Each structure stands twice: as structure tokens, then as C-alpha cells.
Amino acid sequence: MNTIYILWLRQLKRYFRSKARLVGSLGQPILFLVALGFGFGPIYAKAGGGNYIEFLAPGIIAMGILFTAVFSGIEVIWDRQFGFLKETMVAPVSRFNIMIGRTLGGATVAALQGIIILLISLIAGFRPVNWLLVPALFLVMLLVALLFTALGTAIASNLEDMQGFQLIMNFLVMPLFFLSGALFPLQGLPAAIEVVAKADPLSYGIDSFRWLLVGTAHFSLGLDILVLTAVTFILLVIGSFFFSRIQI
């Protein structure tokens, strides 16, 4: 447990020490929120969809969590190249504890990123329908962050260069985001896209965010939590397996 805590704390220190990383990671979500929210807002309202900022904000919160969580895996490659990972691996602790500590740290950072974007959304005019559900939202945000941090760690454990990781992540992350219903409703989609959206775990994360923030959902909160929990468990098992096989 001490190893898990130390690695978790190290991830947080990295996050708060790098002001450029903090500001840079907020740039894209803010751009999407402002440009799309106010740009497509009138069109969305004329089409009978209501307030687009209200619809968009949960998706942009999930976007911030997704990008921060998945790209936290690059720190595995970074630490391997600069020798810190080797120092950690030769310590008399299990690799499972090391992986869990790093994953929890990355997930906490990603969840904090989501909270910051939620605060920015409030400045943009978004308001939750029930403030009493916001604490539950934070727990679901942490679950989503844990899922995608485990995914990033699993992929990074099989790679040795950062360029390859970035290419794979861009190939994976953008479809995960754009096909999750973050920017458009999932109702009435072509059958092929609907199948892909249902297979996308981020769809269930965004759906749970919308239920807790605005009171609407495409699936149901129970199904969302069930899918997120199951996929998180599977990815933690896979990530632990690949991390245990890292050659140092």
C-alpha cells in the first residue's frame, strides 16, 4: 500500500508542477466548448434540441478526462527511457502494486482535469439540474478516468518510443471521442454508427454524466455504471498483465 501511495502522489506532483501541461491540456476542451457551444447553439435550438451548451458540457468534460487519462500512459515510456522505471521495478514490491499506483495517480489527475472543465462550463453558462448529484458525478468521473488510464498504461507497456504511442493514441482516441455521442445525440444514427457507439465505453461515461448533470440519458444510469465497471476491471487486468511483462 505504501508503494501505491508513493506512486499516486508522484503523479499528482508531476501534474501540479507542470503549469504548461495544465494550461495546454485545457486548451482543446475550452475551444470545443466555446466554438461549438456558441457556434452551433442557435442551429441546435432551431432544430428543437434546446440548449446546446447543456447538451455539450458533459461531453467536453469527458473529453478532458479521456485525453488526460490515456496520454498519462506516455509516462511509462518516459520513465523507461530515463531509468526511473527500472529503479521502481527492481524494488522489492510487486509489479501489480506499481501498476495500480501509477494508474490511480493518472486517474486522479484526469478526474481533476474533468472537475476544472466542469468549473469552466459553469462560467460558460452551464448549470446542473440537481446540485445534489454532483458528488456522485465526481465518483463516476474517477471511474471513467480509471478506465482510460488503464487503457493507456496497457498500450504503453507494449511500446518503447513515444512517437509510436502518440500515433496509436491519436488513431484510437479521436474515434472514441467523436463516436461517443459527445457532440451529437445518439438517437436516430445510421445502424453502423449506432453499433460502434454502443461498443464505445466512452458513450456510457458521457451518458452517465448527462444523467447526473442534466437528467437525460440515452441508455440508463444503471447500465452505464455496469458497463464502465466491467470494462475498467477488464482493462486493469490486461494492463497489469502487460505491465508485468515489461523488459527493463
pLDDT tens digits, one per residue of 34-56: 888 788 777 777 766 678 888 89
Does residue 19 have a pLDDT over 60?
Answer: no
The rounded mean pLDDT for the chain is 82
221 or 99, greater pLDDT: 221
- pLDDT for residue 26: 75
Say how many C-beta atoms besides its own lie within 10 A of residue 11's C-beta. Answer: 20
- pLDDT for residue 24: 65
Does residue 98 have a pLDDT over 80?
Answer: no
Confidence grade of residue 93 (pLDDT, cut at 50, 70, 90) = low
31 or 84, greater pLDDT: 31
> CA-based angle 210:215:221, to the nearest 5?
65
The residue assigned the cell 476491471 is 233
Lookup: cell for 26: 485545457
3-state secondary structure the chain: CHHHHHHHHHHHHHHHHCHHHHHHHHHHHHHHHHHHHHHCHHHHHHCCCCCHHHHHHHHHHHHHHHHHHHHCCHHHHHHHHHCHHHHHHCCCCCHHHHHHHHHHHHHHHHHHHHHHHHHHHHHCCCCCCCHHHHHHHHHHHHHHHHHHHHHHHHHHCCCCCHHHHHHHHHHHHHHHHHCCCCCCCCCCCCHHHHHHHHHCHHHHHHHHHHHHHHCCCCCCHHHHHHHHHHHHHHHHHHHHHHHHCCCC
- pLDDT for residue 106: 85
The rounded radius of gyration (Å) of the Cα atoms in the chain is 18
pTM: 0.88
List pLDDT tens digits, range 166-212.
777 778 888 899 999 888 888 888 888 889 999 999 999 999 999 99
User: What is the mean pLDDT of the segment spanning 91-117?
Assistant: 82
What percent of the chain has a predicted confidence (pLDDT) above 90? 30
Residue from 144, 158, 145 nearest 110 by CA: 145
Does residue 225 have a pLDDT over 90?
Answer: yes
Residue from 173, 112, 152 nearest 236 by CA: 152
Say how many C-beta atoms besides its own lie within 10 A of residue 20's C-beta. Answer: 7
Does residue 63 have a pLDDT over 70?
Answer: yes
List pLDDT tens digits, range 141-172.
999 999 999 998 888 877 777 777 777 777 88
Q: Calculate the CA 144 to chain-centre distance.
A: 6
